[in-house]
Chains A and B, each alone.
Chain A
């Protein structure tokens, strides 16, 4: 089945220790997104890639970076995680920017 896969599902990292979250898709979609969702809040878009073009949201902290080495994979790098970065991180894809987005199961990040 075509799908959006996120690894790992649960990640624990230490304060200030860099961490990378992974997303892959078998849908061959052009667009990949990263969202942050904190408890009881709406998902918040961090950035997206349209093909190789990176688009950062204006209020995304510099601490968050992303890489998309090919169509199938996209990574979220948090350079120096703080306690406030503990959240669920959702990856999504869409065929085009105007199309519906399909989400992965998310990675729950804990910062100790």
Chain B
């Protein structure tokens, strides 16, 4: 049972345009969500997170939106840069003292110059 899904395996965007990465979840107990970026041969790097008490969190070029009723979150990158090309994972965890993260399968983002 895949509780966190990233339905787009890949996304291609022109430099300077907006990249929108999507993530859906099924577990209503999830209340904290994170986005990670992963380059080849490296571990995932934490990008940005959002708690379920918010619907938007912004950090520089990265903004995460959370729609709790739709159980959907998205990561917006504006403007996209070639260095943003990587695999992006969304992850979620429930509101308990136990911090287990459940990851999506990842979306490969390619930003073309």
Contact = CB atoms under 8 A, between A and B. Distances in A.
Interface residues on A, range: 20 to 34
Contact of A105 (B34, B42, B101, B102): B42
Interface in A24-46: 31, 40-45
Interface stretch (A62-70, A79-87, A94-102): A94-102
Contact of A104 (B43, B101, B106): B43
B64 interface: no
A42 B97 contact: no
Contacts, number: 56
Interface of A: 4, 6, 9, 31, 40-45, 48, 55, 57, 90-92, 94, 96-106
Given A96-B99, A104-B43, 7 more contacts: A6-B43, A42-B106, A44-B103, A99-B99, A100-B34, A100-B46, A106-B41
Given A97-B98, A98-B99, A103-B36, A42 B43 contact: no
Contacts of A44: 103
B43 A31 contact: no
A8 to B, nearest CB: 13
A56 to B, nearest CB: 12
B45 A103 contact: yes
Contact of B43 (A48, A57, A90, A94): A90
Interface of B: 4, 32, 34, 36, 41-46, 49, 89, 97-106
B97 A105 contact: no
Of A9, A42, A91, most buried by chain B (CB within 10 Å of CB) is A42
B49 A43 contact: no
Contacts of B103: 42-44
Given A42-B105, A43-B89, A105 B43 contact: yes
Given A43-B89, A103-B43, A105-B43, A97 B104 contact: no
